Amino acid sequence: MKRFSLFLVGYLCVLGSLFAQLPTQPNPLVPQVIPQSPSFSTFQPPSPHLQLRQQQHQEAMQRQQQVLRQHQQAIEEFKAYQRQAEIRKRQEAYAKQMIRYNLGYKASPQATAHYRKAFRILNAMLEGTMPLSLRDAVFAVENAYHNDTLDQAAFNQSIEDIASLLKAYVKKKKYAFTTDFEKNSALVYLMQNGIRAKHPVTKKKTTIVPFRYDFEDYWGREDHTKMFVTKLLRTGSGNCHSMPLLYLLVAEALETKASLAFAPNHSYVMFQDEAGKWLNYEATNQFMASDQLMMGSGFIKAEAIQHGIYMTPLSKKEAVAQCLVDLTLGYEAKFGMDDTIAHFVSPIPKHAPRDIHGHMTMANYLTALWASVEKQLLEKKEDYKERKDLEKFPKAKRALMERNLLYKTLDDLGHEPIPAEIYERWLNQIQQAKQATHE
Amino acid sequence: MILTLLYGLNSYAQEEAAAANFIDSTQAPQAVESAYEQAYKQLVAMLTQKQPYSLKEAVFAVENAYFDQRLSYERFSQSLALLAKLSKRYAKANPVQKYEERDEAQVNLAGAIFKVLTDTTSLMDKQAQVWYHLPYTYDFQDVWGEQEWVNTFVVKLLTLKSGNCHSLPLLYKLVAEELDVPAYLALAPNHMYIKQRSLAAGWYNTELTSATFPMDAWLSASGYIHTDAIRNRVYMDTLSQAYTLALCLVDLAQGYAQKKPADHQAFVLKCLDLALAYYPHFAKAMVLKADVLSKELLALQAEYGVDNIQALKEKPTVKPLYTSVEQLYIRAYKLGYRNVTKEMYVRWLQEMQNAQLNNQKP
């Protein structure tokens, strides 16, 4: 004990002497101030020797100051580096703990620029700052997928050509072509049989061959361009997405009323007869279908009709809102599921509240988001083992609840997936039809 | 059929027989007007929420009025409670296989009610004696209660074990309400059935008349249902509590009209107007109201001595009545209301049964 106190006293003395010496040391960082002004008491010029010495002294001082500045700078740089490293370290530690409640972006802003441009066009149409045009909307969607390389004038021309050839055809045949029903009937005839007529501008005899259903990859899973009207115009064959759309684009050019309508995984055309009754035109195999056939083959329940999600003619605004869903499909095929998709479908509920596909896309996004959140929870949080532990993570719980709520909305609206056996039967029918066409 | 074993029921047949005698001979019959007025007041009290909703009480009120207030409510509720008990036991003994959703218990009960009502249930009492509870079948003799209005009643169904598309779904719903199983009545042309929802299948239809589960597309295609009628929720939509009570009001009106066909139609119109106030797109009530009013028009036609009923439109005093009748018919038609003939209807019910049998074939 005694030895220890002695040691302590000695230690304190050393410390004391250290402290005592500290203030006496000159601060190396403060440069010494040298009086520069000449003395006012004597007006004699300074001797050359003195001048030389002063000059040397000044130069030495400047060098010294420069070294000091460099030193200072190096210290500051080092401190800044240390600060940054600390921030980075803290961020990394935080990221290890942090749960990301978004999916981020899968592609660079340059790569997705065309998509954002198309979104701006569609959104402007829905907001009313641009005129509603289904043709422009469809073009924007397809052009975005093709990286803004499609020729809009050529696209417009090919739609206008079909319309003007049809006009020339009915004029020559002296068919009635004034009411909406007559115009639609002529258009159905064109889609089904094709026409040959003299082009009113080029005066060339032109043939439009009947449009066919493309049995290869009819859902565009391998090649997304299979969904496109531009593909239908180029090859003459399309699917249940492009064929009704082409019909509607030509109807728009003819300034006649026709509407898009949905069945599960399917779209078709509706127009009114002269008594105002809505008719169904199945553009893929080109016949007029009864409501009951639509209901039966599409496995549609009464609730879906009551809520207007299936078998209900869409307004032009709703059709344009649906183009936003098409836009996300192309985006997803190209880049995968990310936050852009949620952003793209966000205007749909406001402008087309009964559009089921917007809800479905959002539900898919929220499912992907929840899967990501749950994966992060399992990886990063030790106190998360199963769904029961969600109570500790209110924000994650909200992500799951939001997803479940949307699925509930979908169920309430009457959307129900087609039962597997029914779907298989339908696929078989298509397969048979496909074989029949090959024979 | 698999023998169902249900323990713990004491002499089931006795209980059933005791409950099924509904006419209480100790009660003195009341005059038609007062009996109906009493039922009307009870329904109004439920509609205005002065009295809690109870379909059991509403249906009983309607049928009791026809029986001049001589039915026993106690026995009526007893027989419903017995069916509920039986269904509960059935669900316990024969749970639905391979169903793993959160609403399993509910689906089990719904399936049990369906089985108990449409199939023979065998049960064993404490003395190990086997009893059979027989199914409630469809009465093809008088499908719409034209011969005898009582044929549309739940008490008739409970007593004689045969009913029609009015009493069978009502009984199902009554038993379901006893067990707190959500079930909704839904309408089709000249028809009524049950709609329920399960997590696995979504909305599904239960058809008691043919003991089948038809799908919507089939119902609409074969049952002459216009798409507009679905869109306007005239058919194939679930009926809320208020709508169900409005339905009872129309039953009451029809019962009164059957009881007193020659009487002036004030009571009938009162019921129909109230039903339409709570259920504005109730097309059947519209058409019934128009029918009642057109009887008045026919009387006026005789009074004015005109050959063509349309000539009444010219008379300024009759014009409002004429146009209101016209408007009611037009509105019902536009909503998608349709009537089917009895032949069409019976064929439809049989088709439904055959379709089910065909589906069951391997």
Q: Is the pLDDT of residue B3 over 50?
A: no
A296, B221: Cβ pair inside 8 Å? Answer: yes
> Could you identify the residue written with the tokens 């599960």?
A264
Residues of A in contact with B235 (CB under 8 A): 302
For the record, the structure tokens of A349 come out as: 């509920």
- Look at residue A423 in the predicted model and tell me its pLDDT: 63
Residues of B in contact with A292 (CB under 8 A): 217, 220-221
- Residues B234/B335, Cβ–Cβ less than 8 Å: yes
**Interface with chain A: mutation pick from B196, B216, B222, highest number of A CBs within 10 Å:** B216
A291, B218: Cβ pair inside 8 Å? Answer: no
Name the pLDDT band for B220 (thresholds 50, 70, 90).
confident
Asked if B125 is an interface residue toward chain A (Cβ–Cβ < 8 A), one would say no
- Look at residue A18 in the predicted model and tell me its pLDDT: 45
Asked if B358 is an interface residue toward chain A (Cβ–Cβ < 8 A), one would say no
N-term to C-term CA, chain A: 109
Report DSSP letters for A341-404, one per residue: HHHHHTTHHHH-TT-HHHHHHHHHHHHHHHHHHHHHHHHH-TT--SGGGGGG-HHHHHHHHHHH
Asked if A419 is an interface residue toward chain B (Cβ–Cβ < 8 A), one would say no
- pLDDT tens digits along B163-214: 999 999 999 999 999 999 999 999 998 899 999 999 888 889 999 988 889 8
Domain assignment present for A58? no
**Interface with chain B: mutation pick from A297, A300, A301, A407, highest number of B CBs within 10 Å:** A301
Q: How many angstroms separate the Cα of B182 from the Cα of each of A424, B52, B175, B202? A: 33, 17, 10, 13
For the record, the structure tokens of A318 come out as: 């709703």
Phi-psi region of A194 (alpha: psi -120 to 50; beta: other; left: phi over 0): left
Which of B203, B217, B233 lies closest to A295 in CB terms? B217
Count how many pairs of residues, chain A against chain B, have C-beta atoms within 8 Å. Answer: 42
Q: Give, to the nearest 10 degrees, the angle between helix B167-178 and helix B55-66.
A: 140
- Look at residue A36 in the predicted model and tell me its pLDDT: 57
B220, A292: Cβ pair inside 8 Å? Answer: yes
Q: How many angstroms separate the Cα of A258 from the Cα of each of A230, A306, A415, B242? A: 20, 21, 24, 39
- The CA radius of gyration of chain B, in Å to the nearest whole number, is 22
Nearest chain A residue to B214 by CA: give it: A301
Cβ atoms within 10 Å of A47's Cβ, excluding its own: 9
Number of domains in chain A: 1
- Phi/psi of residue B191, each to 5°? -150, 160
- Look at residue B7 in the predicted model and tell me its pLDDT: 39
Residues of B in contact with A311 (CB under 8 A): 227
> Could you identify the residue written with the tokens 């509930």?
A408
The answer to which of A426-430, B225-229, B315-319 has the lowest mean pLDDT is A426-430
Domain assignment present for A60? no
B220, A303: Cβ pair inside 8 Å? Answer: no
Report DSSP letters for A90-134, one per residue: HHHHHHHHPPP-S---SS-TTTTHHHHHHHHHHHHHHHTSS---H
Asked if A311 is an interface residue toward chain B (Cβ–Cβ < 8 A), one would say yes
Nearest chain B residue to A311 by CA: give it: B227
Closest approach of chain A CAs to the CA of B201, in angstroms? 9
B236, A302: Cβ pair inside 8 Å? Answer: yes
- Of A124, A137, A120, A140, whose CA–CA distance to A320 is shortest? A137
Q: What is the helix (H) or strand (E) element at residue A433, kind and residue range?
A: helix A420-438
Residues of A in contact with B227 (CB under 8 A): 291, 295, 305, 311
**Interface with chain B: mutation pick from A279, A303, A409, A410, highest number of B CBs within 10 Å:** A303
Report the pLDDT averaged over residues B268-282. 95
Strand ranges inside A183-277, DSSP E: 195-198, 205-208, 212-213, 237-238, 259-263, 266-272
Closest approach of chain B CAs to the CA of A176, in angstroms? 30
Number of H helices, E strands in chain A: 16, 8
Q: Using alpha carbons only, what angle is made at residue B146 by residues B141 and B150, rounded to the nearest 5 degrees?
A: 85
- Look at residue B313 in the predicted model and tell me its pLDDT: 83
For the record, the structure tokens of B6 come out as: 């249900």
Closest approach of chain B CAs to the CA of A200, in angstroms? 42
Question: By residue range, what is the domain housing residue A422?
Answer: 113-438
Asked if B162 is an interface residue toward chain A (Cβ–Cβ < 8 A), one would say no
Nearest chain A residue to B218 by CA: give it: A296
- Residues B320/B313, Cβ–Cβ less than 8 Å: no
For the record, the structure tokens of B80 come out as: 């419903």
Say whether pTM exceeds 0.90.
no
Domain assignment present for A169? yes
Q: At B245, is the secondary structure helix, strand, or coil?
A: helix
Residues in chain B: 362
Q: At B194, is the secondary structure helix, strand, or coil?
A: strand
- Residues A184/A170, Cβ–Cβ less than 8 Å: no
For the record, the structure tokens of A79 come out as: 């401190």
Domain assignment present for A408? yes
Domain assignment present for A245? yes
Q: What is the helix (H) or strand (E) element at residue A287, kind and residue range?
A: strand A287-289
Residues of B in contact with A411 (CB under 8 A): 202
Residue type, B338: R
Distance CA A66, CA A48 (A): 27
Name the pLDDT band for B357 (thresholds 50, 70, 90).
low
Domain assignment present for A205? yes
- Residues B103/B119, Cβ–Cβ less than 8 Å: no
Residues of B in contact with A306 (CB under 8 A): 230-231, 233, 237
Asked if B132 is an interface residue toward chain A (Cβ–Cβ < 8 A), one would say no
- Look at residue A13 in the predicted model and tell me its pLDDT: 45
CB proximity under 8 Å: B 173-232 to A? 202-203, 215-218, 220-221, 227, 230-231
Domain assignment present for A66? no
Nearest chain A residue to B225 by CA: give it: A292
Tens digit of pLDDT per residue, chain A (439 long)? Answer: 455 555 554 454 444 444 444 445 555 555 555 555 555 555 566 677 888 888 889 999 999 999 999 999 999 999 999 999 999 998 888 877 788 888 889 889 899 999 999 999 999 999 999 999 999 999 999 999 999 999 999 999 999 999 999 999 999 999 999 999 999 999 999 998 899 999 888 888 999 999 888 888 877 888 999 999 999 999 999 988 999 999 999 999 999 999 999 988 889 999 999 988 899 998 888 888 888 888 877 778 888 999 899 999 999 999 999 999 999 999 999 999 999 999 999 999 999 988 899 999 999 999 999 999 999 988 888 888 888 888 888 889 999 999 999 988 888 887 766 666 666 666 666 566 656 655 5
β-strand A278-282 against B202-206: which pairing, if any?
unpaired
Closest approach of chain B CAs to the CA of A293, in angstroms? 8
β-bridge mates for residue B185, sequence order: B194
Residues of B in contact with A301 (CB under 8 A): 202-203, 215-216
- Residues B186/B166, Cβ–Cβ less than 8 Å: no
Asked if A412 is an interface residue toward chain B (Cβ–Cβ < 8 A), one would say no
For the record, the structure tokens of A248 come out as: 């509607």
Q: At B121, is the secondary structure helix, strand, or coil?
A: strand
Distance CA A162, CA A169 (A): 10
- pLDDT tens digits along B112-134: 999 999 999 888 777 777 888 88
- Which own/partner contact pairs does B43-47 have at CB distance under 8 Å and 24+ positions apart? B43/B245, B43/B248, B43/B249, B43/B252, B44/B274, B46/B245, B47/B242, B47/B245, B47/B246, B47/B249, B47/B274, B47/B278
Distance CA B179, CA B194 (A): 16
- Residues A389/A354, Cβ–Cβ less than 8 Å: no
Asked if A134 is an interface residue toward chain B (Cβ–Cβ < 8 A), one would say no
**Interface with chain B: mutation pick from A277, A280, A292, A422, highest number of B CBs within 10 Å:** A292
- Look at residue B16 in the predicted model and tell me its pLDDT: 62
Task: Provide, for chain A, the percentages of residues in helix, strand and coil under a 3-state DSSP scheme, each rounded to the nearest 5.
Answer: 60, 5, 30
B220, A291: Cβ pair inside 8 Å? Answer: yes
β-bridge mates for residue B193, sequence order: B186
Residue type, B83: L
Residue type, A159: I
- pLDDT tens digits along B51-86: 999 999 999 999 999 999 989 999 899 899 999 999
Domain assignment present for A266? yes
A414, B230: Cβ pair inside 8 Å? Answer: no
